[in-house]
Structure 1
Amino acid sequence: MKQDINIFWFRRDLRLNDNIGLNQALQGNHSVLPIFIFDPNILEELPKNDARVNFIHKTIQDLKTTLETSYGSSLAIFHKTPLEAFKQLSEEYNIHTVYTNHDYEPYAKQRDTEIDKFLSSKKIHFSTFKDQVIFEKDEIVKQNGTPYAVYTPYMKAWKARFKNLSLDGTTPEANFDNLYKHTPTKNFTLEDLGFEVSSQEIAPYKLSSQSIQNYEATRNYPGKDSTSRLGPHLRFGTVSIRDIVKQAAVESNEVFLQELIWREFFMQILWHFPHTATQSFKPKYDNIPWRNKEEEFKKWCKGNTGYPLVDAGMRQLNTTGFMHNRVRMLVGSFLCKHLLIDWRWGEAYFAEKLHDYEMASNIGNWQWVAGCGVDAAPYFRIFNPTTQIEKFDKDLKYISKWAPDFQELTYPQPMVDHKEARERCLNTYKAALN
């Protein structure tokens, strides 16, 4: 006779504490089998030495060990499509409800629709919850019900609603006694998944009262290395967004909080306007005749543009999987405006390389620098890659670390003249947009 169970499906919420969907599952009438699925649809798109897969793999193994040693349970791990995994589970168990947390990206929405349809055919409930954001979907919209397309009014509406929200007690104490007691299941090695050990590592995040209080004073200077490195941990849910927002509120740092709000702003933009994954938010910007020179793109990718701050950023990205946010704006602007290369090329490169890659934010920020997105920088705002050094790295600390050859004879000559590239960009954009 099949065992009666509920399932909790870990996805972008790889933690036991303050996990809304998991807590809801543990309050149900049946014991809970936790599962994780290594989805080939996602994995097949990634480099074989991807540090993010390494990070997820290690986090999953740690979760599995904790469930086994502390709770006498385990984590059922699959390496197959979600549909195949649930077909197998439905044959092995009498499943009442599958619990999980919302995911907002286009593939995730399509996948969840497919899973919901299959589970419904088996008379199994599919119950999903808000977990990775404070506000989602239609929770922050204009009075007429339409989504905000400008950040500042969205941010003000977000803060006004947040004032009336208590984050204390939003997740009840998890009843881990309700976990399904079963023997440990198969472990998948990285090699089983078709991956290898990465030379890069996703570092723990570093967030203290002092770093939050000093955020505004230090955030624009890449040489200070004072960023929290929270990105991948929010992306994969190894930390709760509620915990981070509470810390920002305790320290009363509005600038730090507003960066977290940008993340939610871009998420709701992607939710309401899924076409922006591949098309400009402002349609007429898709008329720009990009030059898209392969050789120039390769130089940009490798950090051989001849502009030290641009090169330092790209080399930091290639070496570590991270780039300072101020420098991201510069290298993005340089690609789109100095080289007139399609923002989608840069977005795809960042998607492959960034440990903290988050589809909504990556697309939102690339469209911002290209001028074609929501609340974007106007197209005539073109960062000067030389004067940016004086503003943000005047002691050359960052450049010396990541582009130490910048004063050597072997260092490449600037691939374009700033003034000429600026004029070319303005003329190209103007002609396409008029």
Structure 2
Amino acid sequence: MNTPITIAWFEQDLRLSDNPAFAAAAMKDHILPIYIFDNRNAGEYEMGGASRWWLHHSLTELNEKLDGKLNFFQGDPQSIIEALCSRFNVTDMFWNRRYEPWRISRDKKIKANGLMQGKNVQTFNASLLNEPWTILKKDGTPYKVFTPYYRQVALGGSDTQAQGMPRIFGTLNTDDKASTLDELPLLPKIGWDTQFYDCWSPGESGAQSVLQTFLANRLSNYKEGRDFPALKSISTLSPHLHFGEISPRQIHDAFLSLADDNNREHFLRELHWREFSYYLLFHWPDLPNKNLKVRFNLFPWQENSEALTHWQQGLTGYPLVDAGMRELWQTGFMHNRVRMITASFLVKNLLVDWRLGARWFWDCLVDADLASNSASWQWVAGCGTDASPYFRIFNPTTQGVRFDPEGLYTKHFIPELKDLPAKYLYRPWEAPPDVLKKANIILGETYPFPIVDIKVSREKALAAYRQL
């Protein structure tokens, strides 16, 4: 085929508005939009089941927006793109930059190969407000602490002007050797995802709807309410951001149009926390698997598969921890404060290596983001660059009393405790026998005894830390 073809490669930018790579391709006469499910180069970071579910439905909507012309492939992108170049007269290749180390390495090779063949290969920023290499200290080194990084960002500003939906001037082409979406191994073979459909609407339309709902109904109580899991005060934008169904520029622009208040500024700060996670991953590519504070390489993590399984299944005997872990399994999501509490319990009360917790979240979260997941787990474990002090150990009992005092969140995910009075909800082992009987609770049968003593395990963790 001699007709000049432009490849528009989608990956974690599953939208048409404010998508600079697609906007550039839309100016061309003949466009070949492609999506490649790369389950070869990801290695140990191959996409988890919850993320695959989301991806399937997000791609469904994107394909509809492209009039069914999105071409699906599975395998190594370099080989697939080389094959496309052999079948078509590919003159231009556009995609948006990705920041996971394995994707950076892969994409550099693809770009270099395309340029060597004389093609016009361009990449764009569609995922961040600021590229990681643009924010540096005066000596040219990267920041390790968020606050000075954030001050630098605030001083320098950023190009946050989001672009609208591009007009497609040319025609969208298809490849008869492409797969169908259903041929990609994305949807689960067993029905553990049943409740996902009631919780989420993946896709660009769903992302815009979530943003507008948050601005209209939730933002006004964000700074205070975001710590209370029973309240609808968080944005739930994270999976939409991860898959690029909405850009940080679009969110940033929407917030700049609002009146300046503490809720707005607090949310924008959280948006920059996401940026900082990518910043750390870019400058320290071992973030997902190596302690950034190297002294933690000597920390005596315990190999306790039984405790890990209890934690994964929400059977630790600590109701707020168990509610969070069950929310994760049932919905593919967990409230932000409960994420900190469950993570702290695993690494500081059970002394289980943070990487095992990060792996479980990676498999179960619909917003499983390598940068945010890795940075957050290192923060909780105390071994990250901008880490919470190791001695900050969340007490799940007092956290429950403080942030879910009526038990609305906890009892929703642990219905076997629904009749237990709030006085004993977060310490059911202290409830008198008649109270347990009235609530139809048999400890050790209908709900477990605690698998570890909070006070004893805390002291054990602090002793281990002092040895470092």
Q: CA RMSD in A?
A: 2.3
The answer to whether structure 1 residue 413 and structure 2 residue 410 are counterparts is no
**Structure 1's 119 and 403: CA in aligned 2 closer, same or farther, altered over 3 A?**
same
Match of 2:83 among 81, 85, 88: 88
Range that drifts further, 273-282 or 57-66? 57-66
Q: Give the drift of 1:208.
A: 2.2
Q: Which amino acid aligns with 2:251?
A: I
Report whether the alignment pairs 1:26 with 2:26.
yes
Structure 1 match to 2:241: 234
Given the superposition, is the C-alpha separation of residues 372 and 327 from structure 1 closer, same or farther in structure 2, using an over 3 Å criterion?
Answer: same
- Letter in structure 1 aligned against 2:34: I
Corresponding position: 1:176 with 2:168: yes
Counterpart Cα distance in 2 of 1:275 and 1:121: 30
CA distance 1:117–1:47, change in 2 (3 Å)? closer
Q: Give the corresponding residue for 2:216.
A: 209
Matches within 5 A, 1:183-262: 186=178, 188-190=180-182, 192-193=184-185, 195-196=187-188, 198-199=193-194, 200-201=196-197, 202-203=200-201, 204=206, 205=210, 206-251=213-258, 252=260, 253-262=264-273
* 1:12 corresponds to: 12
Length-normalised TM-score, structure 1: 0.91
Instruction: Name 2:298's counterpart in structure 1.
Output: 287
Residues in 2 aligned to 1:314 and 1:47: alpha-carbon distance in whole angstroms: 22
The yes-or-no answer on 1:126 pairing with 2:141 is: no
Aligned match of 2:434: none
Summarize deviations over 1:33-77 as a string: whole Å, max 9, x none: 2111122327897999924323322322332232227xxxx2222
**Residue 67 of structure 2 corresponds to which residue in structure 1?**
68
* Contact 2:26–2:168 (CA under 8 A) maintained in structure 1: yes
Note if contact 1:79-1:193 (Cα within 8 Å) is conserved in structure 2. no
Q: Which residue of 2 aligns with 1:428?
A: 464
Give the 3 Å change call, closer, same or farther, for CA 8–47 of structure 1 in structure 2.
closer
SS in 2 for 1:274: coil
Q: What residue in structure 1 maps to residue 160 of structure 2?
A: 167
CA shift, 1:403, in A, is 1.6
Is this contact kept in 1: 2:33–2:173, CA < 8 A?
no
Equivalent position of 1:267 in the other structure: 278
Letter in 2 for 1:395: E
Cα distance change, pair 351–181 in 1 and its aligned pair in 2 (3 A): closer
Change (3 A) 1:172 1:307: closer
Q: Give the paired residue count.
A: 424
| Number of the residue aligned with 1:102 | 97
1:400 alignment counterpart: 411
**Cα deviations by residue, 1:219-268 (Å, 9 ceiling, x for unpaired):** 00001133221011000011121111112222331001011000000101
Alignment partner, residue 337 of structure 1: 348
Question: Percent of aligned positions with the same letter in both sequences?
Answer: 37
Following TM superposition, by how much is the alpha carbon of 1:195 offset from its aligned partner in structure 2, in angstroms?
4.0
Alpha-carbon distance in structure 2 between the residues aligned to 1:13 and 1:321: 20
Residue 22 of structure 2 aligns to a residue whose secondary structure is helix
Gaps of 5+ in 1: none
What CA distance in whole angstroms lies between the structure 2 residues aligned with 1:218 and 1:353? 25
Structure 1 residue 399 displacement after superposition: 0.9
Q: Is the 8 A contact 1:249 1:257 kept in 2?
A: no
Q: Distance in 2 between matches of 1:421 and 1:183?
A: 59
Please tell me the residue identity of whatever aligns with 1:140: I
> What code does the residue aligned with 1:109 have?
I
Alignment of 1:310-321 (within 5 A): 310-321=321-332
CA distance in 2, matches of 1:56, 1:42: 18
Pairwise CA distance, 1:283: 0.7
Segments of structure 2 that go 5 or more residues without pairing to the other structure are: 421-440
SS of equivalent residue, structure 2 residue 128: coil
- What per-residue deviation string (whole Å, max 9, x for no partner) do you get for residues 365-407 of structure 1? 1001100002111111111111101210111111111122244
